[in-house]
């Protein structure tokens, strides 16, 4: 996806209030034809889920999913490369849950971001160089015991 008819007009000295007195010279920057930021051209998701019915009446449910994203930029400024660039990546998750046959309790576990990949989510820079990069969540895992009364 690309922008079209996208212009940013700035006036006055940086940081000044937008008033008629502060208008010095209008500067127009066109972003026409630039790819959308924080938007990979391709995202592909695949998932698998299955319920295993056990002889005792219990159920084990497993789920696996993965998401692939092609590379993309977090901003348009070439001087911010490589900080504003997110390479192609994939992130996978897995969960499993056992539900007792009487339905009174369930034990489940999960792992998110199995690859433990640090995906760049946002980049901000006050100037042309290094700035602040926000990363996605690292690998997380846990378990839950649910009891119904």
The per-residue pLDDT for 10 is 59
| CA–CA dist 101, 59 (Å, integer) | 7
List pLDDT tens digits, range 22-51. 555 556 666 677 777 888 999 999 999 999
Taking CA atoms, 38 is separated from 95, 116, 122, 142, in Å, by: 28, 20, 7, 29
List pLDDT tens digits, range 55-70. 999 999 999 999 999 9
The per-residue pLDDT for 38 is 84
Q: What percent of the chain has a predicted confidence (pLDDT) above 90? A: 54
Contacts 24+ apart (CB under 8 A), 18-27: none
- Specify whether the CB–CB gap between 97 and 106 falls below 8 A: yes
Residue 128 has pLDDT above 60, yes or no: no
Q: Phi-psi region for residue 57, left (φ > 0), alpha (ψ -120 to 50) or beta? A: left
Taking the model in full, what pTM does it have? 0.75
Residue 141 has pLDDT above 80, yes or no: yes
List pLDDT tens digits, range 7-19. 566 555 555 555 5
């Amino acid at each position: 996806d690309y922008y079209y008819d996208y212009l940013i007009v700035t006036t006055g000295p940086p940081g000044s209030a937008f008033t008629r007195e502060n208008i010095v010279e209008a500067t127009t920057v066109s972003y026409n034809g630039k790819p959308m930021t924080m938007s990979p051209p391709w995202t592909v998701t695949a998932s698998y889920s299955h319920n295993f019915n056990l002889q005792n009446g219990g159920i084990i449910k497993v789920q696996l999913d993965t998401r692939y994203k092609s590379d993309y930029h977090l901003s348009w400024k070439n001087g911010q490369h490589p900080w504003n660039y997110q390479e192609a990546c994939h992130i996978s998750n897995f969960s499993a849950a056992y539900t007792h046959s009487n339905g009174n309790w369930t034990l489940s576990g999960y792992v998110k971001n199995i690859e433990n990949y640090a995906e760049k989510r946002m980049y901000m820079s006050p100037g042309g160089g290094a700035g602040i990069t926000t990363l996605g969540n690292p690998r997380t895992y846990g378990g839950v015991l649910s009891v119904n009364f």
